[in-house]
Amino acid sequence: MFPVVVVHGGAGQVPKERSEGSSLGVRMAARAGYAILRGGGSSMDAVVEAVSQLENDPFFNAGRGSLLNIKGEVEMDAIVMDGKTLGCGAVSAVLNIANPIRLARLVMDKTSHVCLTAEGANRFARSVGVPEVPPESLVTEYSRMCWNKEQEEKKGMGTVGAVAVDRQGNVACATSTGGVANKMEGRVGDTACIGSGGYADNQVGAVSSTGYGEAIMKVNLARLILFHMEQGQSVEAASGLGLAYMESRVGGLGGVVTVDPQGHWAARFSSLQMAWAAAQKDTLHYGMQTGEDFTHIDL
Amino acid sequence: MFPVVVVHGGAGQVPKERSEGSSLGVRMAARAGYAILRGGGSSMDAVVEAVSQLENDPFFNAGRGSLLNIKGEVEMDAIVMDGKTLGCGAVSAVLNIANPIRLARLVMDKTSHVCLTAEGANRFARSVGVPEVPPESLVTEYSRMCWNKEQEEKKGMGTVGAVAVDRQGNVACATSTGGVANKMEGRVGDTACIGSGGYADNQVGAVSSTGYGEAIMKVNLARLILFHMEQGQSVEAASGLGLAYMESRVGGLGGVVTVDPQGHWAARFSSLQMAWAAAQKDTLHYGMQTGEDFTHIDL
């Protein structure tokens, strides 16, 4: 079994002027996650590091760069799940946190709960010494430009995530988002919903989802794909089946990155594009359009 | 196919002095839901009516009677799902609302979102004319007594819910809760998580869950049971398999009510007790201890 990390930068339509930055961002995040795996680190450490990098990168709709809600505020959701224990942590509608994915992990590690929301999540952050950042530090020129534009136009943009398998065969997932542009205050999407925005189980595999959150929730996309794998489908086939079912049953587009404990991996999407990158056996794979799989050897 | 509604009043240990009130409450709620089905009403109307009655009944941990968080406040979660469309609505950590289940349905019916949380959910309530009630109107002597008692002692108390099938063969679920006693501010449990606290799909059936929320979320209990039914298991066997898996994999106890579109139903629990009632073919079934199934004919 070869350790692997697979990263996505959100399913949707990547504007032309942002495509190089997005591709570069997911490749750097995959490298960062892989460096941890290669050093013998855990899949949980790898996915949290990869997603933190994407949260810090203003090209993505998570952390800095999050799309704004109807009031022009950044409200973020994030989730992590550990396939060994089924332990999970999530935050929803949290404000003024640079790395919601690290806060979600602290919910898992430091509380008896799975999910904390809104002011309760911020209160927890303060109690464990996670600093609040000025709201404007998370807002970019681009996210402000998207604000109050026709909502439909931007619906698909979203959500970063990662899945990984480490040397011990443990799988993990992490997903983080600013949500859909112009969302209602307090809207929680699939990202904070265990089994929708992500799921990880050492007996089956791990999935991180992106796309139209309301559709992803209706079909429990991450868990659905893992059920197909339990029925004997490959990571690739199961990911395709899950996305096709979501599109036919509830009309939603999206994308996923998926691994199994043997280190097989897939990056699939039904949206126009999804920036993704995977690192395994010292090789970096990446793409953005359907069918693309570029490789860099000697990572 | 015979329309049916199945109601639960929460898995856990029902204190002796509350057992008669709890049993009466679930029977009245099942009758109210069944009256709607018998009149040709929808399964969605039936489950919302049944759960609203339980929210209004101070014997249950939902609406009035909700257990208090660490600050001594009532913060409630609720979910509805419509098996015909997979449409769903949820609220989490909402304050000062008499019937969160009706607010969850309004999220489904009146917004493009699935879940609204905390102040955002309250803001939505105001925008659609749902009145806020004084916080103390939801607090009972019993919930105040439980507050700050040893948390372990009360862990299992919780959550009301219902599933139903109507004459058209449409299934629906509804679940509502005040959450676990002495929970952290902003804690969201399984109830607001699609696929954990409830799931409904006309092609398979519907489930409403109760029990230790953090365990229910880790295994996506409601969706898991429906996957077993898709593999050919009966409502009874699938419910038992889901609960047994949860106990063995993550150590949590709970209970469920389950239906399939043909009108087969089950009320199963791994906890010590669960007050439940089911109405079908003008007969009321009910119980609270393992193995009990009392019947009243001529409902």
Pairwise CA distance, residues A299 & A49, whole Å: 17
- Tell me whether residue B210 is annotated as binding: yes
Name which of B233, B160, B221, B172 is nearest B10 in CA terms. B160
pLDDT, tens digit (0-9, with 9 covering 90-100), for B138-184: 999 999 988 866 554 554 467 999 999 999 999 999 999 999 999 99
The structure tokens listed for A34 are 């892989």
Give the separation between CA A282 and CA A295, rounded to whole angstroms.
Answer: 10
* Min distance A170 CA to chain B CA atoms (Å): 16
Minimum CA–CA partner of A192 in chain B: B193
Contact A86 B214 (CB under 8 A): no
Q: Considering just the CA atoms, what is the radius of gyration of chain B in Å? A: 17
Q: Three-class SS string for B231-274? A: CCCCHHHHHHHHHHHHHHHHCCCEEEEEECCCCCEEEEECCCEE
B212 labeled binding residue: yes
| Contact across the interface for B124 and A186, Cβ inside 8 Å | yes
Q: State whether A118 and B115 contact (CB < 8 Å).
A: no
**Chain A CA closest to residue B193:** A193
Q: How far is it, in rounded angstroms, from Cα B26 to Cα B7?
A: 6
Q: Is the pLDDT of residue A150 over 60?
A: no
Q: Which of B145, B149, B162 is nearest to B42 (CA)?
A: B162
B100-114 pLDDT, tens digit per residue, is 999 999 999 999 999
| CA dist., res. B152 & res. B136, Å (int) | 25
A193 token code pair = 């919903």
Cβ atoms of A155 and A247 closer than 8 Å: no
The catalytic residues of B are 159
Identify all chain A residues contacting B214, using CB atoms and an 8 Å cutoff.
112-114
pLDDT of the residue at B155: 47
Chain A residue whose CA is closest to B192: A193
User: B286 CA to chain A: closest CA distance, Å?
Assistant: 31
CA distance B90 to chain A (A): 9
Question: Which residues of chain A neighbour B85 with C-beta distances below 8 Å?
Answer: 250
User: What integer pLDDT is reported at residue B97 of this predicted model?
Assistant: 98
When CB atoms are compared, the residue of B183, B196, B220 closest to A113 is B183
Q: Which of A118, A124, A249 sits opposite B117 (nearest CB)?
A: A118
Mean pLDDT by 10 residues, chain B (299 residues): 95 89 96 98 98 96 95 97 98 98 98 98 98 96 82 62 98 96 95 98 98 96 98 98 98 97 98 96 96 87
Residues of A in contact with B189 (CB under 8 A): 113-115
pLDDT at A155 over 60: no
- A–B CB contacts, 8 A cutoff, strictly below: 145
CA A154/CA A147 separation, integer angstroms: 10
User: Distance between CA A53 and CA A192 in Å, rounded?
Assistant: 19
Per the annotation, binding residues of A for substrate are 187-190, 210-213
Structure tokens at B176: 């509502």
ipTM confidence score: 0.96
Biggest CA pair distance of chain A: 48
Q: Do A120 and B118 touch (CB under 8 A)?
A: yes
User: In this structure, how many other beta carbons lie within 10 angstroms of the beta carbon of residue B272?
Assistant: 14
- Compare all CA atoms of chain B with the CA of A120 and give the residue at the minimum distance: B186
Q: Which residues of A are catalytic?
A: 159
- Angle value at C-alpha B79, between B78 and B83, nearest 5 degrees: 165
Instruction: Please list, in sequence order, all residues whose beta carbon lies within 8 angstroms of the beta carbon of residue A100, skipping any fewer than 6 positions away.
Output: A55, A62, A63, A76, A77, A78, A91, A94, A176
Is a pLDDT exceeding 60 seen at residue A266? yes
pLDDT of residue B158: 75
Question: For A268-283, how does the pLDDT look when each residue is reduced to its tens digit (9 = 90+)?
Answer: 999 999 999 999 999 9
> Does A199 sit within 8 Å of B124, measured CB to CB?
no
For position A273, what pLDDT does the model report?
95
**pTM tops 0.95, yes or no:** yes
Contacts of B220 in chain A (CB under 8 A): 194-195, 199, 220, 223
